[in-house]
Amino acid sequence: MSYFSSGAWWWPYLFILVAGFAATDIWRFLGVYLSGKLSEDSDLLVLVRTMATALVAAVIGNLIVFPGGALAHTSLGLRIAAAALGFVAYLVAGKRMVVGIATAEFLLLAGLCLNF
């Protein structure tokens, strides 16, 4: 059963509650339950963190390489260059997110204006 597979008005909401709310909040609740019981530096938690980080990074990669909507009409080279240079700017500016995001957006828009 996918998100759009049912005509019932409530199905998408149930889908969000089960696959979104429950799947997310279970970890928040477990965190409260386990706080003080399990060290955050335990090896198991390091593995859990690296897996979650890799998964979210995979999302980022897909959003840049296979975007949807209006971003899909831009060239792959422009998107990767804007993101990479934005990230470099973020690092050079002492890990300031605003600088990274603004640089990438500026480069993307500049590239679009110049028809890259």
Among positions 50-79, residues that touch another protein (CB under 8 A) are: 50-71, 73-74, 79
Give the Cα separation of 79 and 105 in Å (integer): 10
Encoded tokens for 78 = 């422009």
Q: How many residues bind another protein (CB under 8 A)?
A: 75
Using the minimum distance from each CB to another protein, give the nearer residue, 26 or 77: 26
Interface with another protein in residues 96-115 (CB under 8 A): 97-98, 100-101, 104-105, 108-109, 112-113
Measured from the CB of residue 10, what is the shortest distance to another protein in angstroms?
Answer: 11
DSSP 68: -
Other beta carbons within 10 angstroms of residue 29's beta carbon come to: 9
